[in-house]
Every structure is written in structure tokens, then in C-alpha cells.
A and B are shown apart, each in its own frame.
Chain A
């Protein structure tokens, strides 16, 4: 178990003023079997009103609006997390989890992932019904066969596109891994969060087996223990976007520049 202090800061700069800005933010980690959150403090600027809401994946949301023209928007979240309290999450039953067996627009495989999946089936020597063994083997292979390269993909890049170009970031590792597991009909979900020692937000996955949601980090080839703070989960990236907004540009479509700064350290 680790006691972590975290600080998440996102700043968005618009090149021209925007107005009627509605936002939903999934930026608040919450208590679960694995983690306990305390001293949570958040700020959203500017806002005319904000409130708390939830979504259907069990995530915490902040929602609100700011109507007046503005050129910047920032989110700041601070707190402490006790991580690794338990090994697994256990919420939901098999029928609920089965919903996560289905591919989404981000994870649906194309020819290249399908070919890779065939290859993995051949390489896997364990027993077919050992879900855990298979998931960890697939993670190991993906970690070896796929290259991490920062800035090489965009947020809308699909698993197939990311896989085809041979390199990507944590979001792509997670999407490709989800795609492979779903081809095996294993329920699995996308997770966003923060990782000890990382300066950016991070993404990994959880798969469901025998009543447990087991978390794996394919980017780092790690079974998750006590260094990951979970923020949100869903079918793919689009269900757990930290910042989702709609707004009107004042004269034309606004361009936005987003800076994210994360720090996670062991509390002293």
C-alpha cells in the first residue's frame, strides 16, 4: 500500500474568445476497494455555476457552464490517495460486465489487429480457459511488439490506426489491448488515471474474470498494485474524457491549446 499526494492541473487556451461554454469534467478520483481518496480539493475557472453529477459507468463528474467570452479555462484537482488497499475491484455482476465485451468505435479491429490476434493465438501456449494467463501473455507481447512514442497519435486515433503505424501512447496501448481482449470475448474497460512519477495523465485497462476487475497497464507491462490512482473508466477513451466541452467561437471556430501537468509523489 502507498500513500500518494497528487496534483492534476489542466489549462486550456483558446486563440479567440469563446462563449456559452458547457463542460463535463471527469477529473475526480473516487473511493473504491482499491483506493481511498482524502483531502480532495478542486477548482474550475471560470464558471458561473458548477455542480456534481455522475455517469452510467460509475464515474464522478463536475458539470457546469460559463457564458461570457473567455480565452482560458482551467481545472485544478489536488488530494491524497491511499492506493493498493485491495488487489481488485469487484463491483457489478457478470451480466453487467458483459456489456464491456463489445467492441466500440475506438477498439473495433481491422485487418492488422485481426492478423496480430491470430498470431497471438498461435503463440499462446497456456490453456485457453485461463483468462488471466492469456491476458498477461497478450500484455507482454503487446509491450514487446508495439513501440511507445509520445505525440505519435491523436485522441481520435482508433486502435487499428494506432496499431498499423507501429507506435503510439498509453491511450493506444490500452485501446489495442481492449480490442484483443474483446476478440476473446473477455469483458474489459478503459481506465484513466495518474501514475506515481508520471507528469501526464495515464491510461490502462481492467478486465473482468471470476467476479473481479483485474487491472493491467500494457504501456508499462505491469499488473497494477499501488502506484496507480484511478480517475474514471468506460468502454473506451470517449467514455472517460477528463474534459468534455461544447462552446461557441465568437467569430469563427476557436482553436485550443491544452496543457496538462500532473504530479504524483509519495506523501511524506
Chain B
């Protein structure tokens, strides 16, 4: 298979992406900057058999994570049985007391999960992190694939590649499964959000209304969309792309201006579905990540199919000892941070920085995890006309509808900096399409 054959269209595809508004907004020093999200036309290719293995592992993982969230906000068996220490739940920032004893429609919490994986040099896959709050990114390979097909239809005739343009259908099926009666909206904070392109694109593709907070209102225990003429239309599902904190000023952060007052009261009564459910942060905390293989065993009685990167919790004295002894070989992550922030490679610190960091680590062990640095494979990209190797990860999308569904594609993000392992878009990386072969 010639994966380089789309390279000659690189310029025109990127131009089209820019015209369609495929951008990534980032805040730096309090100013909002929109930047293009560079697309590299060389796809990441995953064989059919290999993807079937990933698919099985991803379904297992997301099923267990959903059971965990339900357990935490209801029975708390996993805490009572001593598998997950209580302080990792209650003292973590992802746990929301407002979610106690509130059951979402069909008991689904994480409808749309973005699971980040990397492939090591020995070809084995590792889970890097779970994103269960408002994971973004599916729209980028969707539109890129569409443009690639237009530029070079023969590429897709000559190769057996799973069509990834069905994502909207899968999403629709996920919405409809939990919809409590009425239309579906995609709730966006507006165009100053990093993923606004995605919100509008997914609304267009799924047929949902794109709405901002002031177009929705609660009345008589139901949620309504108010249209242009002032007419009210009942809403049964909200794919909300704003974080828990800002969802409802009466139940979460009071200063939120983009939320809908009392939407959470209506949800509590079972009169609207929120995708994803509030409170999911309790399961995608970097500290909880360590426990995911244990929860798979606990809830499903199975061994985890997909491995975690070897992880240590300085919270446990024996792990702390290991971390201090092997400090230089590890990557340390602040559990409260996301988007590639709060990640430090010990071997890149000066002696003084190290001392300072170790003092902090000892003072707040619960705040950090340490991981072995996985030497993940390089993927070829084209940079200024040359083929060069770069680090890349894969965000797989797992949708929980009437059954778990894995999208046969994914967002491959790469670091443009040859020395960096951090691929986050907010850190200036680019993206690739992910081809899953159909045979």
C-alpha cells in the first residue's frame, strides 16, 4: 500500500480545511488565538485484525468505566471492597457530590469516550488516558477523509479501507438510545471554544440543533429549545460540549453565563438525557487511571485486554520508594491537569528543579502519578517536502448506545517537534487520518 500517494494533494486539502474553518482555538496568556490544525496526508494504517483486538479491548474498558461511575455515585461497592481508596474518589476534583444518587437514562454515563492509545516499538498498544468528559476530535478525521476522497477517489477504490463517514450515524444512534422524548441539541459555549468547528460540523452531520445556553430553557420540569419565532420545542437529549462546571448556574458554578439554569433539576427527574453525564471526571482522573485494570477485573471478572502504561502511585509508600529510586527514568503527571499541561519528564529537569519537585511530590503524593516512558513508534509525516519520523498517538472513539460501538477510525495526533512526546493539539501538534483496513 502506498501511503504517500495523497501527499501531492497536501496543499489543496489543507487550504480546503482552512476554508471550512477547521481550526483549533487556544488560550495563551489570556488571549484567544485560533490556529489551523495542520493535517498530514500520510494516514496511520491499522490492519483489520489488529483493530479487532483494539475494538474488543476498548469496549471492555469503556463498559467497566461506565460501571465504575455508576457504582461511585450509588452503591460504592468498589470502595467498600477496598479496591479503590476512598480519598482518590472524594478528594479528587472530578468527583461531583451533586451527582450522588442521580441515575442517567439507561444508566449510561460515558456515551462518547475518547480513549488515547500509543503503540510501543514492539507493536504492543498501551492506553495513555481515558477522556470521558467532553472528548473532542472526531470531526477532524471525518472531514479530512471526505476531502481526501474528493482529491483522490482512486486511493479509496484501490485500497480496502473502512469508511469512517458513518460517525454521525453512530452518534445519532447514541443520542436516540437515551433521548427521553423530543429533539436533540448540541450545546456549544460558542465560537470562542477550541472545538467550535466540531460542534457545528457534528450538528450538521447528525441533524441535531446547534444551540447555545440562552436558546434553551427549563419549564414545567422539561427542557425546551426556543426557535427563531419564539416557539418552544421539547428537548429529550443534549450533547453538551460545555464542561460540568458551567452547565447549570443553579447546580454547579453560579457565575456561569453559558449554562441553563435548572437543567440539572430536569435531568435529575429523568426528563432529559445529558451526554456525557455530569460527574464523569471521577473516572478519567489520572489518579483513577491506575485502577482501571483493577475495575475491569472487579466488575467484569476479566483481565484487561489493553494494557495501561506501567504506572506508579506515590500515594502508596512502596510506589513512592520506586519513584524516588528511578526518578530520572519516569514521566510525572499532575492528576489535575489536562491537555498536555502538568507533564514533566524527570530527565529534562535541572538538579534544582528536581529537588523542588521531589519536595512537592512528598508533600502532596496524591496529586501525582509516575509512569515509565514508553518509547512509542515513530510515524512518518511530511514536513517541508521531506519525510520525517514523529511521535504520534491515537484517540479512539467509543460510543455507548444500545451496545458499545467503536468507530473504525480515530484521530491520530502527532508532535511536530522531533524531540517531543507531547502530541496535544493545544500544544501545537497536527493530525492524520486513521485508516482501518477492512480485510
A235 touches B97 (CB 8 A): yes
For the complex, is A22 an interface residue (Cβ under 8 Å from B)? yes
In this complex, the interface size class of chain A, counting residues with CB under 8 Å from chain B, is 20 to 34
Task: Tell me, rounded to whole Å, the shortest Cβ–Cβ distance linking B429 to chain A.
Answer: 36
A54 touches B91 (CB 8 A): no
Which residue of the partner chain A has the closest CB to B254?
A246
A95 touches B79 (CB 8 A): yes
Q: Using Cβ atoms and an 8 Å threshold, which residues of chain A touch B99? A: 56
For the complex, is A98 an interface residue (Cβ under 8 Å from B)? yes
A95 partner, pick from B76, B91, B262, beta carbons under 8 A: B76
CB-contacts of A61-84 with B (<8 A): 61, 63, 65
In this complex, the interface size class of chain B, counting residues with CB under 8 Å from chain A, is 20 to 34
Q: Mark A100-119, 1 if CB is under 8 A from B, else 0.
A: 01100000000000000000
Which residue of the partner chain B has the closest CB to A61?
B265
Q: Using Cβ atoms and an 8 Å threshold, which residues of chain A touch B265? A: 24, 51, 53, 61, 63
Task: Tell me, rounded to whole Å, the shortest Cβ–Cβ distance linking A249 to chain B.
Answer: 14
Which residue of the partner chain B has the closest CB to A58?
B101
Q: Mark B93-106, 1 if CB is under 8 A from A, else 0.
A: 00001111110000
CB-contacts of B238-293 with A (<8 A): 249-251, 254, 261-262, 265, 268-269
A24 touches B86 (CB 8 A): no
B76 touches A246 (CB 8 A): no
A53 partner, pick from B91, B100, B269, beta carbons under 8 A: B269
Which residue of the partner chain B has the closest CB to A234?
B97
For the complex, is A257 an interface residue (Cβ under 8 Å from B)? no
Task: Tell me, rounded to whole Å, the shortest Cβ–Cβ distance linking A55 to chain B.
Answer: 7
Task: Tell me, rounded to whole Å, the shortest Cβ–Cβ distance linking A251 to chain B.
Answer: 18
Residue pairs across A and B with CB atoms within 8 Å: the count is 56
Which residue of the partner chain A has the closest CB to B78?
A95
For the complex, is B219 an interface residue (Cβ under 8 Å from A)? yes
Q: Using Cβ atoms and an 8 Å threshold, which residues of chain A touch B91? A: 102
CB-contacts of A204-256 with B (<8 A): 235, 239, 244, 246
A63 touches B250 (CB 8 A): yes
B261 touches A99 (CB 8 A): no
B102 touches A56 (CB 8 A): yes
Q: Using Cβ atoms and an 8 Å threshold, which residues of chain A touch B100? A: 56-57
CB-contacts of B46-81 with A (<8 A): 76, 79-80
Cα(A246)–Cα(B260), bound, Å? 11
Cα(A23)–Cα(B261), bound, Å? 9
Cα(A22)–Cα(B97), bound, Å? 22
A56 touches B97 (CB 8 A): yes
Q: Mark A122-157, 1 if CB is under 8 A from B, else 0.
A: 000000000000000000000000000000000000
The 11 listed contacts between A and B (C-beta, < 8 Å) are A53-B269, A55-B98, A56-B100, A56-B102, A57-B97, A57-B100, A63-B265, A99-B90, A101-B90, A102-B91, A246-B250
B: which residues have CB within 8 A of A? 76, 79-80, 86, 90-91, 97-102, 218-221, 249-251, 254, 261-262, 265, 268-269
Q: A61-B265, A65-B219, A65-B261 are in contact. List 6 more A-B contacts (CB 8 A).
A: A22-B262, A53-B262, A53-B265, A53-B269, A95-B80, A96-B76
